[in-house]
Structure 1
Amino acid sequence: MTPENMRGGYRWRRPEWLDVLSPGGWVICALAVVSTIVLVLWPIPRREGLVFWTFAKSHQRLYEPITEAWNSEHQREERVHIVLLSAGALQRRLLSGFLSGTPVPDLVEAYVQIVAQAFMGPLEDVGFVDLTEVIRAEGIDEQINAPSFAPWTSRGRIFGLPHDVHPVLLAYRADLVEAAGIDVRAIETWDDFVRLLRPLVRDVDGDGYADHYLLNIWETNPELIESLMLQAGGALFDAQERLVMASETNARVLATVVSWTTGPQRIAVNAPEFDAAGNKMRLDGTVLFSLMPDWLTSAWRQDLPQLAGKVKLMPLPAWERGGRRTTVMGGTMLGIPKRVQDFDSAWRYAKHLYLSPDLARALFRSTGIISPVKQHWSDPIYDEPSPYFGGQRYGRLYIAAAPEVPPRTSSPYNPLAQIKLADSALALKAYAQQHRRYTVADLLPEARRRLGQAEAEVRAQMQRNLFLAQERR
């Protein structure tokens, strides 16, 4: 019903376009318009000095003493103020700031997934300052472990200082393995691993289920599968950020992982990290070996103190004799957004913090993370024996693995590729169970097919991004 009123002798009819929305809808639109105007016109005061965002409380605690000393020695406009945000809030605010012009910090710590999203558009539109030339001019590229730059590099340009290396070793229940008379030094390859350790997968209490499984890996964890692909020389994207999911190396790793998780010769179990059920499986010895990046060592020490002295570390078995004995998982960088107030001051602080020997020592002591700065690797702190890891000098083990960490790219489509990788693994396991085909040789043709299909699906999404497509022509 259209309301009508008589005003001054004229009949007034409400315009029909007002009926497009309800009165409540128009109120919402009005509020949106007003809030947008306020956001654009309202002056946003900035704290004097440089603002530094981080997402990790443990990082903030380490940085505060160094930052306080920095602030005491510098003018007010060069002082740094650390702001702690949740990982999700930091990602949303930073990426929206890059796109909309809303406030962003002068320095920011960002992890792999955030940085990958920032690389989505043309190179000139990346929200971080391109640090390539200044890093090379100052010789920082020679000071830092070369593979550590890879996740922060897009199309040959470096956009951040590496915080870490994150090599991966194999943690194992030394008390149980050694009691069985097994010397892990005899294990060089994954074939050796399965052959020598399979006798441990047995039903001890007679309930019909194995009491011990060898490895913590499952088809639903694409990050672990990708890490093993990287170790084997595969990748989801090559050095030029071209999609290479369906490579023969990737197919063989996928077929091998699925063969570990199903069938009568199954050796793997799903024991998630940071999970009560997963931790109980580790305490009970249900899982004997776990892939362990350096950052995970502190989580085990904190969450599983009962395993102190019962756990040791060893290099990963290689995929072939003489092959790589480590891989990589995770990563963080320190970047400088293009709208930084004072680049020179921000860059000086970034170097002061990330290249600091004091930070390297504190970082390892509190989190187990080794520094990417090679000159710090001779620090005696890495030679201290760890009671938790059976007296091993575990810092030195991770340092030895650091130069062998495989390079990886930071494609904005890597999260999508990981999802499709998980889909492929699930489908391959279903195929194995349906057809009762459990060996790597039996699964390899289907693994190739599934990865080819996954690659086609990811490529279809990538081709929608005209900016990246044009740059790669």
Structure 2
Amino acid sequence: MKLKSITLAAMVSAAAIGSVQAEEKIRFDGFPDFDSSLKVILPDFEKQTGIHVDYLMNNHEDHHKKLLTNLATNSGAGDVVVIDVEKVGDFVSSGGLVNLSEKYNAEQYKKDFAPYAWAQGQDPKGDVYGIPVDLGPGVMYYRRDLLKQTGDNIDNVISDWDSYISYGEDLKKQGTYLIASAADVAQTIIYTTVGENEGLYFDNHGKPLVTSPRFVKAFTVAKEIRDKGLDARITSWSNEWYEGFRNGTFATQLSGAWLLGHLQNWIAPKTAGKWGVSKLPDGIYGSWGGSFLSIPKQSKHQDAAWELIKYMTTKRDIQLKHFSTIGAFPANVTTYDDPMFSEPVPFLDGQKARLLFAEITKKIKPIVPSKGDSIARSIILENALMQVLDEGKDVKQALADAQRMIERRTRNL
């Protein structure tokens, strides 16, 4: 009897060990608020597939720095990694990611995604290294109460940049700023007025474009806003920025549609009903943010990782859960006829904002990223633009100097 008990216990123990060994485990590396979404969608994925998913979150910048090191050293990366659209060009060209076209025939899903977002996850040859999981159609959030106080009309405000600045002058008379930072206006113009055969910062031959009229206009409009004292000189994602939303320090914010989730969930939930959202000023359309899912070559569980990527990006109901949980606008266009898009958004005073987001998404033109984009972005938006806004440097001189620096730093890429 005793022998039988021991044998039974051994059999149970062996079965348990076999179960653990049979269960595949992978890790998802990303940044907030992906963890909030994963808590909602992973239980069903794990139940369906038997694949257990752990996740590691770092803040946006640290996540990408860590991933860059992981890919360079061929160790330490998760099996599925999130890459922001601003970084995707560099990571695609790094050589450290799995070619999803070659290994998994990713093109079979192309028709289901916003064309501009699909292009951003490709290399110059058209091979896919990142599948878009969410988008950032560019919009302008505005305070309805502050607009009412000035007597302006939102359609007039966004008709062109002169009208937008004129609205800022009306706000200034009442002690309110137009926007947190004039730099956001420059970034908007740079991102949304890209010409044919152009990337964000380079042409199709790899030559920097930063002395072109697009950049001159972006810097000039931003400088006018700064010179007239219409921006609050507040940096995005700072405590002062959060307080500005809560206190009505500034009346507008140019951003991606995703800002809605942050505003209503944690930045300024008590301001519900005071906000509206519109298209960007000057009749422009463009992307502001967005995320991609990729698989590092170093992953020992690439097939399981691909299953998770497919689950998060190609399944309509999961894309909608991701959207409803953290406000991350779906990259999968097959979701856009869901009744959710026609629902009023209470935080925006009942506005049916998701229909606007979908309309904008369909009008954004594809822009293929370049491997020097992050270098150029740093030089333009963090150095040259700040020299113009903070130090009064001449716009054309700042851009000419930036062009030389970009050429020097990208020469060996």
Match of 1:369 in 2: 328
Deviation at 1:432, TM superposition (A): 4.5
User: Structure 2 stretches of 5 or more lacking a match?
Assistant: 1-20
CA distance in 2 between counterparts of 1:426 and 1:57 reads: 28
2:209 alignment partner, one of 240, 244, 266? 244
The amino acid across from 1:423 in the alignment is N
1:300 alignment partner, one of 247, 250, 263? 263
- The alpha-carbon distance between structure 1 residues 453 and 389, as it changes in their structure 2 partners (threshold 3 A), is same
Deviation at 1:151, TM superposition (A): 3.3
User: Structure 1 stretches of 5 or more lacking a match?
Assistant: 1-45, 205-210, 434-445, 469-473
Q: Deviations over 1:23-60 (max 9, x none)?
A: xxxxxxxxxxxxxxxxxxxxxxx995241322235323
Match of 1:288 in 2: 251
CA distance in 2 between counterparts of 1:347 and 1:313 reads: 36
CA distance in 2 between counterparts of 1:456 and 1:314 reads: 37
Larger of the two Rg values belongs to structure: 1
Q: How does 1:77-226 map to 2 (within 5 A)?
A: 79-87=51-59, 90-91=63-64, 93-112=66-85, 115-119=88-92, 121=94, 126-132=95-101, 138-156=107-125, 157-186=127-156, 187-195=158-166, 198-202=169-173, 204=174, 211-219=175-183, 225-226=186-187
Q: How does 1:447-466 map to 2 (within 5 A)?
A: 447-463=395-411, 465=412
CA distance in 2 between counterparts of 1:112 and 1:196 reads: 31
Match of 1:233 in 2: 194
CA distance in 1 between counterparts of 2:107 and 2:396 reads: 45
Are the counterparts in 1 of residues 87 and 374 from structure 2 also a CA contact under 8 Å? no
1:277 and 2:206 matched? no
Are the counterparts in 1 of residues 29 and 78 from structure 2 also a CA contact under 8 Å? no
Are the counterparts in 2 of residues 173 and 312 from structure 1 also a CA contact under 8 Å? yes
Are the counterparts in 2 of residues 245 and 455 from structure 1 also a CA contact under 8 Å? yes
Q: How does 1:66-77 map to 2 (within 5 A)?
A: 66-74=41-49
Deviation at 1:344, TM superposition (A): 4.1
SS of 1:172's partner is strand
1:60 alignment partner, one of 21, 35, 38? 35
CA distance in 1 between counterparts of 2:388 and 2:70 reads: 41
Deviation at 1:239, TM superposition (A): 5.0
SS of 1:268's partner is coil
Are the counterparts in 1 of residues 74 and 96 from structure 2 also a CA contact under 8 Å? no
Moved more, 265-274 or 138-147: 265-274
- The alpha-carbon distance between structure 1 residues 240 and 47, as it changes in their structure 2 partners (threshold 3 A), is farther
TM-score with structure 1 setting the length: 0.73
SS of 2:54's partner is strand
CA distance in 2 between counterparts of 1:300 and 1:286 reads: 15
CA distance in 2 between counterparts of 1:216 and 1:276 reads: 12
The amino acid across from 1:149 in the alignment is W
Q: Deviations over 1:421-453 (max 9, x none)?
A: 1322233346748xxxxxxxxxxxx42232121
Q: What is the count of residue pairs matched by the alignment?
A: 384
TM-score with structure 2 setting the length: 0.83
Among the aligned pairs, what percent are the same residue? 20
CA distance in 1 between counterparts of 2:335 and 2:155 reads: 28
Are the counterparts in 2 of residues 127 and 337 from structure 1 also a CA contact under 8 Å? yes
Are the counterparts in 2 of residues 230 and 327 from structure 1 also a CA contact under 8 Å? yes
- The alpha-carbon distance between structure 1 residues 101 and 428, as it changes in their structure 2 partners (threshold 3 A), is closer
CA distance in 1 between counterparts of 2:31 and 2:392 reads: 41
Are the counterparts in 2 of residues 200 and 212 from structure 1 also a CA contact under 8 Å? yes
Match of 2:319 in 1: 360
1:419 and 2:378 matched? yes
CA distance in 2 between counterparts of 1:386 and 1:277 reads: 26
Deviation at 1:159, TM superposition (A): 0.4
Q: Deviations over 1:393-433 (max 9, x none)?
A: 11112111112335444434333322321322233346748
Higher helix fraction (1 or 2): 2
Deviation at 1:455, TM superposition (A): 0.9
CA distance in 1 between counterparts of 2:308 and 2:362 reads: 27
2:231 alignment partner, one of 268, 271, 293? 268
Deviation at 1:148, TM superposition (A): 0.9
1:397 and 2:356 matched? yes
CA distance in 2 between counterparts of 1:72 and 1:428 reads: 55
CA distance in 2 between counterparts of 1:390 and 1:448 reads: 43
CA distance in 2 between counterparts of 1:181 and 1:408 reads: 38
The amino acid across from 1:306 in the alignment is K
CA distance in 2 between counterparts of 1:412 and 1:215 reads: 31
Are the counterparts in 2 of residues 127 and 338 from structure 1 also a CA contact under 8 Å? yes
